[in-house]
Chains A and B, each alone.
Chain A
């Protein structure tokens, strides 16, 4: 057996009751000094299933309700508890301690914005006469391959521009609701924004209110998803030696 590491917390952290991890193995803490790694046993050669991914996320999400958590990227596995204590916690002690204190009391809330494509298209055809013209040309009996292509290309470009504009508008509104905000590349269909907000746990209601208000005022072609609370995935920079990306 090996040890899967979910994240790092302060040694004073209490687990919120029995917590099942990957393959339902009980989650426990490995303590070294003031730091503790959140771990569970795993067969090192276990094939990955989507349950494994979800378990990693769920364990961290349950902890972050009450505790400051530094999330590990999925897949950090070491052989033994001793290795966790010495090669992870002890070796990274200064860095981890500094990170824990810089994220003290902070949680991540994620907002993803999407376009309703039909509504976005209708908006474009309302606002842009040149698109209507192209469409009429494409429809006017001479619906050649070329005119179809020109139309499609113009629409794709216009949709992209609208997506950037709408994303910028949402981002600006969200920025006012968070201590820090970062956006990542979007990768789902019709998604226009993936923004991570770093928020004081105690100020979450204010963010909830802000998102609620924002949703009411957005044009109906923009749809929001509001996710969290999460550990600050998007703010701890990859390598343990790195600076937090917002510092």
Chain B
């Protein structure tokens, strides 16, 4: 509850490095492009980011909201003043219910991105056809990751 303590400790906040999700937000659709030279097969990635941006407002999500609120103990919200006291107790219970659809989309993206840890052949696209020099394609030798940043997302 004292997550946000007031000025007892006057720390100065510094910005943090970007996470994988931040990186996907920025480097895939922001920054300079020299269009004729964009040669890399970004096809798979573009689909991936589009997926991540689908916001689904459907009957299904409305029902999830309704269900969440029904489960959320809101009695404390009607007596002003003590809601904070109750928050930690009820937190979590209802939350999971509303997360459904959009989270599923994000999971999908995360899973795709995670494949490079699980598979020997770590790629975004199973089949990346004709668009980029498929004639010269050779199977990539399996490589072990050497990075220490294994789980950033």
By a beta-carbon cutoff of 8 Å, the part of chain A in contact with chain B is: 2, 7-8, 24, 44-51, 53-54, 56-58, 61, 70-78, 83, 87-88, 92, 99, 109-110, 112, 117-119, 121-122, 125-126, 132, 135, 138-139, 148-149, 151-153, 155-156, 159, 184-185, 187-189, 194, 205, 208-209, 211-212, 215-216, 220, 225-231, 233-234, 236, 238-240
Contacts and interface: CB of A to CB of B under 8 A. Distances in A.
Interface in B76-133: 76-78, 80, 83-84, 87, 90-91, 94-95, 98-99, 102-103, 106, 113, 116, 121-125, 128, 132-133
Interface of B: 4, 6-7, 11-18, 20-35, 37-42, 44-45, 52-53, 55, 57, 59, 61-70, 72, 74, 76-78, 80, 83-84, 87, 90-91, 94-95, 98-99, 102-103, 106, 113, 116, 121-125, 128, 132-133, 136-138, 140, 145-147, 149, 152
B87 A73 contact: no
A125 B32 contact: no
B25 A76 contact: no
Nearest to A158: B65
Contacts of B13: 208, 211-212, 215, 226
A212 B18 contact: no
Contacts of B40: 44, 48, 75-77
Contacts of B67: 148, 152
B16 A72 contact: no
Contacts of B30: 71, 73, 184, 233-234, 236, 238
A118 B84 CA distance: 12
Contacts of A70: 32
B23 A152 contact: no
Given A61-B18, A76-B37, A118-B72, 9 more contacts: A71-B30, A76-B34, A110-B18, A126-B80, A148-B62, A155-B62, A189-B102, A212-B11, A238-B30
A40 to B, nearest CB: 14
A125 B77 contact: yes
Nearest to B152: A54
